[in-house]
């Protein structure tokens, strides 16, 4: 077919062939190879391309720096290296410091965080009463204490809101339960055709739930003064409950005051150490479990924490929290079986 065409009528292509690299691209690739510590050797293919390149490729671009004869490729590479230093950054060897919320400690199990919370509460218990608020405000600024407490609260409050709290409960019913730290139920002599928890028709109440104790500060667990709790006297402290609602209410109350209950146990241990040589303590133990002795310095909160852990006190309190969470899951199972219909 080409033999039949007159050679004079064949027009040369006005476009450059593909795979042509500019001097800038060649220098950039050379710099990349130098970064990878590879040998910088001009390929035969690039040399052929430079020899075959038309003269317009070597034409000076307006505004560009003219190429000086005798200037070596290494000098060109150094100039390009200086020009590229603005956007090619060397990787530093310094480790990146992540926020405490993204540290490996946050991926530990809940028991690990529970021990840190116990350590915080022991530190709080060894403080004088007037210094506890200031201590807690400063301690919660430290991620070592604040992050485990946030993780535990998020986990436990999530179980309470999703598995324990009923959607039909009213605020007037939940608020007293959240305020007072003690709750108990007694059987009624006769059934009442109303439930103060769910208010569903046809439900019979056979139990009376009573809340008691004193409202307390959620930060220091100290009892609030009368003037700080104006609504305490107005709160309704007795409820008529059905069998399943009483069970759900009891679990809800445990979830609402688990921090207070834990702190009171640990504070009682600390107070026992303070009163062991005074008349305030009626019972003085001859020996402790596992033959462990408390620290001589009662201000050594970490030493007291280690002593409580060695005696198994922390393990006992952790088991109580586990039982509380399991009771929430059992409520959900019982609800699916239809046990909440009575």
Per-residue pLDDT of the chain (342 residues; tens, 9 = 90+): 556 666 666 666 666 665 567 888 888 888 888 877 665 555 545 555 555 544 444 555 555 555 555 555 555 555 555 555 555 555 555 555 555 555 555 657 899 999 999 999 999 999 999 999 999 999 999 999 999 999 999 999 999 999 999 999 999 999 999 999 999 999 999 999 999 999 987 889 999 999 999 999 999 999 998 645 555 555 678 999 999 999 999 999 999 999 999 999 999 999 999 887 665 555 555 455 555 788 888 899 999 999 999 999 999 999 999 999 999 999 988 877 766 655
Whole-number pLDDT of residue 296: 87
Tell me how far apart the alpha carbons of residues 243 and 231 are, in angstroms, rounded to a whole number. 29
Angle subtended at Cα 213 by Cα 209 and Cα 219, rounded to the nearest 5 degrees: 120
Q: What is the pLDDT of residue 67?
A: 56
pLDDT at 32: 85
Identify whether the C-beta of residue 205 lies closer than 8 Å to the C-beta of residue 191.
yes
Question: Would you say residue 91 lies in a domain?
Answer: no
In a shared domain, residues 242 and 192: yes
pLDDT value of residue 35: 78
Please answer whether residues 197 and 166 qualify as being in contact, where contact means their C-beta atoms are separated by less than 8 angstroms.
Answer: yes
- Predicted local confidence at residue 174, as pLDDT: 94
Q: Output the CA–CA distances (angstroms, integers) from residue 281 to 265, 277, 285, in the order listed.
A: 16, 8, 10
For 117, 272, 281, 282, 304, the CA distances from 278, given in Å and listed in that order, are 29, 10, 6, 9, 19
pTM: 0.68
Q: 256 is in which domain, residue-wise?
A: 102-341
Residues 108 and 142 in one domain: yes
Same domain, residue pair 242 and 310: yes
Q: Where are the alpha helices (DSSP H) in the chain?
A: 23-35, 44-52, 73-84, 110-125, 132-139, 143-159, 171-179, 243-256, 258-274, 301-311, 313-337
- Shared domain for 80 and 126, answered yes or no, is no
Residues 138, 190 within the same domain: yes
Last residue of one domain, picked from the residues 84, 111, 139: 84
For position 33, what pLDDT does the model report? Answer: 84
241-244-247 Cα angle (round to 5): 85
One domain, residues 232 and 273: yes
Interaxial angle between packed helices 301-311 and 110-125, expressed in degrees from 0 to 180 and rounded to the nearest 10: 130
**Both 165 and 240 in a single domain?**
yes
**181 vs 261: CA distance, rounded Å:** 8
Given 84, 119, 139, which residue is the final one in a domain? 84
- Indicate the residue among 84, 110, 138 that finishes a domain: 84
Look at residue 118 and tell me if it is in a domain. yes
Q: What pLDDT was estimated at residue 14?
A: 66
At 239 the pLDDT is 94
- Please tell me the predicted confidence (pLDDT) of residue 136: 96
Residue 249 resides in a domain: yes
| Residue 107 belongs to a domain | yes
The verdict on 22 and 153 lying in the same domain is no
Q: Does some domain include residue 53?
A: yes
User: Are 32 and 115 part of one and the same domain?
Assistant: no
The residue count for the chain? 342
The total of structural domains in the chain comes to 2
User: Which one-letter DSSP state was computed for residue 288?
Assistant: -
Q: What is the pLDDT of residue 237?
A: 86
Residue 82's pLDDT is what? 57
34 and 160 housed in the same domain: no
Q: Residue 96 domain-assigned?
A: no
Q: What is the pLDDT of residue 118?
A: 97
In-domain check, residue 166: yes
- Counting other chains too, the contacts that 258-263 makes at CB distance below 8 Å and 24 or more residues apart are 258/156, 258/321, 258/324, 259/117, 259/218, 259/221, 260/181, 260/216, 260/221, 261/181, 261/320, 262/117, 262/118, 262/121, 262/317, 262/321, 263/121, 263/124, 263/125, 263/221
3-class SS at 336?
A: helix
- Rounded to whole angstroms, the Cα distance separating 312 from 320 reads 13
Report yes or no on 224 lying in a domain. Answer: yes
My answer on whether 303 and 276 are in the same domain is: yes
Question: Quick check: helix, strand or coil at residue 195?
Answer: coil
Q: Examine the domain organization and report whether 174 and 298 are in the same domain.
A: yes
Q: Are 126 and 299 in contact (CB under 8 A)?
A: yes
pLDDT at 229: 53
The per-residue pLDDT for 310 is 93
């Amino acid at each position: 077919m080409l033999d039949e065409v007159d050679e004079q009528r064949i027009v040369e292509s006005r476009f450059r062939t593909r795979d042509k690299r500019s001097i800038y691209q060649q220098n950039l690739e050379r710099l990349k190879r130098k970064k990878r510590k590879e040998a910088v050797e001009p390929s035969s293919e690039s040399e052929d391309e430079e020899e075959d390149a038309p003269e317009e490729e070597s034409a000076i671009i307006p505004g560009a720096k003219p190429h000086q004869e005798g200037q070596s490729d290494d000098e060109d590479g150094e100039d390009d290296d200086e020009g590229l230093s603005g956007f090619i950054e060397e990787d530093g060897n310094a480790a990146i410091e992540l926020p405490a919320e993204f540290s490996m400690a946050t991926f530990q199990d809940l028991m690990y965080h529970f021990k840190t919370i116990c350590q915080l509460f022991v530190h709080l218990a060894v403080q004088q009463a007037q210094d506890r608020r200031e201590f807690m405000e400063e301690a919660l600024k430290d991620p070592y204490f604040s992050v485990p407490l946030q993780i535990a609260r998020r986990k436990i409050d999530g179980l309470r809101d999703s598995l324990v709290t009923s959607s039909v409960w009213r605020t007037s019913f939940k608020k007293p339960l959240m305020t007072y730290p003690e709750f108990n139920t007694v059987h009624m002599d006769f059934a009442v055709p109303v439930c103060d928890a769910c208010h569903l028709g046809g439900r019979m109440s056979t139990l009376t739930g009573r809340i008691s104790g004193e409202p307390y500060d959620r930060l220091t667990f100290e009892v609030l003064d009368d003037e700080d709790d104006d609504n305490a006297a107005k709160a309704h402290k007795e409820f008529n409950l059905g069998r399943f609602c009483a069970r759900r209410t009891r679990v809800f109350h445990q979830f609402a005051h688990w921090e207070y209950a834990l702190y009171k146990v640990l504070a009682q241990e600390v107070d026992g150490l303070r009163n062991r040589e005074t008349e305030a303590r009626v019972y003085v133990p001859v020996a402790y479990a596992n033959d462990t002795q408390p620290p001589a310095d009662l201000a050594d909160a970490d030493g007291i924490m280690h002593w409580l852990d060695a005696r198994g006190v922390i393990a006992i309190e952790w088991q109580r929290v586990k039982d509380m969470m399991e009771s929430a899951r059992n409520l959900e199972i019982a609800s699916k079986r239809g046990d909440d219909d009575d």
